[in-house]
Amino acid sequence: MTGAALFRIFLLASLFSFGGLGGLPILHQQLVDQTGWASEATFAQALAIGLISPGPNGLYVVSLGYLLLAWPGAIAAALALMFPPLLVLPMAAAYERLAHQRRVQSAVHALGLAVAGLVGYSAFAILRGTVSDWVGIGIALCVFALMTRTRIHVIVPLAFAGALGVLVYR
Amino acid sequence: MKPTRKPPGGAPATSIPLVQQWLSWMWIGATSFGGGAATLILIRREWVDRRRWIGAVAYDRALALSQVVPGITILALAIQLGRFARGYAGILVALVGLLTPSVVLTGALTAAFSAIQSLTLAHAALLGVAPGTGGLTAALALQVVVSAFSTGFPGWYRLRDLAIVAASIFAIAVLGWPAPVILIAALAAGAAIPERSR
């Protein structure tokens, strides 16, 4: 296993993924089934760290890279993640050229609406998957209220939620 | 510096100092605990609300375009904001600034994880944080829904807009379509039923 080989696999997965976790099936196939470089446990660990570390959840790939090849692996993953989103540049350029057409404006507005629907549904799905009791309902409501009504930093309510978790679930 | 091409949103590249942009991205990258929802909330607060480096409409459009390219949505958004603010130098500053603290912290957490893993305390803390990330995503959803509707046309167009939101939820929740298919279908629907010119 080399950094370059990992980079190629991470780049392939990122190129064929939409959203943070979309590349998971490709990575799993390449790293577990084909090369045997990673185990199921490695994946689970990387996904968990991706959730708690700062930044997009898709950075779980960085954790995976670290588990497989220490810092060179983490850096190979970070570099591989940087390239596919650059495709947004030609897309934005095309939009600029066509932005005066009302069909194009309308299409991009409709895209924004569909994104709103999908984010709304993912909020529902995450709440359904994470809230299992009254404490959870309280935590979710408090974080929601604080994030929509105050300018408080994200870290503060999450730190309180973590502390409450220690008190309640230990 | 060479003049940059006109970025999305129609405004010219700005004179926001690169150091300020870099510090802003580093701050977001280092403190956005709570996943993608936390990161998106922080980016909007920094760029739209607090520093007013980009208008809400241009920001929303950049976010929408970010959804239809491969890879991590937030990186595509950062690339567009960086380009808007300072052309290619802005893109470099955005990617390096946002990713450096996140990658270092993710690597360090991974290194420490085998030690943390055995502790029941850490597990209990995560059980508390998980519903918190649910609340965070709900807050992000409200923000995205409100801004998506605020740029629409009144009257019958509102009904069309509602139908698109409802159809996208139906497609993912009931039909189980993959998200990219739904987004492409929405693009097609928007082009098929156009609004008046803006």
Per-residue pLDDT tens digits for B17-67: 999 999 999 999 999 987 888 899 999 999 999 999 999 989 999 999 998
pLDDT, averaged across chain A: 88
Taking an 8 Å cut-off on Cβ atoms, the answer to whether A55 and B151 are in contact is no
Residue to test with chain B: of A45, A53, A60, most B Cβ within 10 A: A53
ipTM of the complex: 0.86
Taking an 8 Å cut-off on Cβ atoms, the answer to whether B136 and A89 are in contact is no
For a pLDDT cut of 70, what percent of chain B falls above it? 89
Other CB atoms within 10 Å distance of the CB of residue B43: 22
Per-residue pLDDT for B198 more than 60? no
For a pLDDT cut of 70, what percent of chain A falls above it? 98
Chain A contact for B92, CB < 8 A?
Answer: no
Give the C-alpha separation, A142 to B132, whole Å.
8
Interface of A with B in 29-88 (CB under 8 A): 45-46, 48-59, 62-63, 66-67, 71, 74-75, 78, 81-88
Taking an 8 Å cut-off on Cβ atoms, the answer to whether B164 and A114 are in contact is yes
Give the C-alpha separation, A88 to A84, whole Å.
8
Per-residue pLDDT for A21 more than 80? no
Provide the shortest C-alpha distance from residue B3 to chain A (in Å).
16
Chain A residues closer than 8 Å to B79 by CB? 85-86, 88-89
Taking an 8 Å cut-off on Cβ atoms, the answer to whether A49 and B113 are in contact is yes
Interface of A with B in 80-109 (CB under 8 A): 81-89, 91-93, 95-96, 99, 102-109
Q: Are B34 and B134 within 8 A, CB to CB?
A: no
How is A30-94 classified by DSSP, letter by letter? Answer: IIIIIS--S-HHHHHHHHHHHHHSSS-GGGHHHHHHHHHHHHHHHHHHHHHHHSGGGGHHHHHHH
pLDDT at B5: 46
Per-residue pLDDT for A27 more than 90? no
Per-residue pLDDT for B8 more than 50? no
pTM equals 0.84
Taking an 8 Å cut-off on Cβ atoms, the answer to whether B132 and A158 are in contact is yes
Taking an 8 Å cut-off on Cβ atoms, the answer to whether A82 and B99 are in contact is yes
Backbone angles phi, psi at B3, to 5 degrees: -65, 135
Q: Which residues contact B114 (CB under 8 A, 6 or more apart)?
A: none
Interface of B with A in 140-169 (CB under 8 A): 140-145, 147-149, 151-152, 161, 164-169
